[in-house]
Structure formats: structure tokens, C-alpha cells
């Protein structure tokens, strides 16, 4: 039996305005700093997350810290409540 660990999530819901797209990068950078993870590949991770931002409706992201890593997930717009991991930063 696989035991799943419960996580405390930080949620970010972005409206479709293009000017707010960079907010996801600020949250990821803050989470990485909190976890004391180096910033190598942070720009690429931010670009990837920003690519999921929709201009046709709200986009929901969630983040969690787990030991020495930060995981960023995006909600599947076709299946609300279903999340998929898209970025993992490891120290």
C-alpha cells in the first residue's frame, strides 16, 4: 500500500489578464527562497508555468514544499479539481 503524504498548499488564481501572468513567477521564486533551493533553472520553470496561464479564463495554480523541493501544479481546466504537477525544483 502506498502512503500519500498530506501537503499544505499555497493557491494562486490568476484572471485572464496578460499583465498578471508574472505573478506565478513571483510565487514560485518566493517558495524556492523559503525552501532554500538554489535558483538554477528558475527562469525556465517560470516560463513553463507562465505558458499555462490562460487568456480566456482564470487559471489556478497550487504550490507545496516537501522536504527539499517545491512542486507547482496547475488545475486541469477540463476537469476542475484535478491537478497535475508541471514544475519541481529540488535543492
Using CB atoms within 10 Å of the CB of residue 37, give its burial: 0 to 12 exposed, 13 to 18 middle, 19+ buried.
Answer: middle
Overall average pLDDT of the 70-74 stretch = 95
pLDDT mean across residues, the chain: 88
In this predicted structure, the answer to whether residue 1 has a pLDDT above a threshold of 60 is no
Overall average pLDDT of the 61-87 stretch = 91
63 confidence band (pLDDT: 50, 70, 90): very high
Distances (CA, A) of 43 to 3, 26, 29: 33, 11, 9
Q: What is the pTM of this model?
A: 0.86
11-20, 37-46, 55-64: segment of lowest average pLDDT:
37-46
Amino acid at each position: 500500500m502506498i502512503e500519500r503524504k498530506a501537503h499544505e498548499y499555497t493557491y494562486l488564481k490568476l484572471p485572464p489578464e496578460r499583465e498578471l501572468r508574472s505573478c506565478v513567477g513571483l510565487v514560485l521564486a518566493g517558495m524556492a527562497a523559503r525552501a532554500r533551493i538554489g535558483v538554477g533553472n528558475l527562469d525556465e520553470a517560470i516560463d513553463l508555468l507562465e505558458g499555462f496561464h490562460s487568456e480566456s479564463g482564470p487559471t489556478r495554480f497550487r504550490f507545496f514544499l516537501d522536504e527539499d523541493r517545491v512542486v507547482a501544479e496547475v488545475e486541469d481546466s477540463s476537469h476542475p479539481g484535478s491537478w497535475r504537477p508541471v514544475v519541481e525544483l529540488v535543492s
